[in-house]
């Protein structure tokens, strides 16, 4: 399988999983924001991946 085909397949699978997760959350009454990152350790929200990485380096190093 070529690299382009694998990359496309991976993106399709990822999109499908995200769509299913969002639909499941909606049916259960949860609101799923897009573009929000959360720390696994303290659950602090971040709007950018760079700020999450900075938080992890400074707070949980």
Q: What is the pLDDT of residues 2-60, one digit of tens each?
A: 888 999 998 888 888 777 777 787 788 877 667 778 888 998 888 778 888 999 999 98
C-beta of residue 18 within 8 angstroms of C-beta of residue 26: no
Take residue 43 and report the two structure tokens written for it.
Answer: 């659950």
Name the 3-class secondary structure at 46.
Answer: strand
Q: What is the pLDDT of residues 18-34, one digit of tens each?
A: 777 777 877 888 776 67
pLDDT at 30: 78
pLDDT at 55: 93
C-beta of residue 26 within 8 angstroms of C-beta of residue 33: no
> pTM of the predicted model, to two decimals?
0.43
C-beta of residue 50 within 8 angstroms of C-beta of residue 40: no
């Amino acid at each position: 399988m070529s690299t382009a085909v694998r990359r496309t397949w991976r993106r399709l699978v990822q999109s499908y999983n995200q769509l299913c997760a969002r639909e499941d959350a909606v049916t259960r009454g949860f609101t799923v924001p897009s573009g929000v990152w959360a720390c696994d350790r303290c659950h602090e929200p971040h709007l950018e991946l760079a700020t999450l990485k900075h938080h992890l380096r400074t707070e949980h190093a």
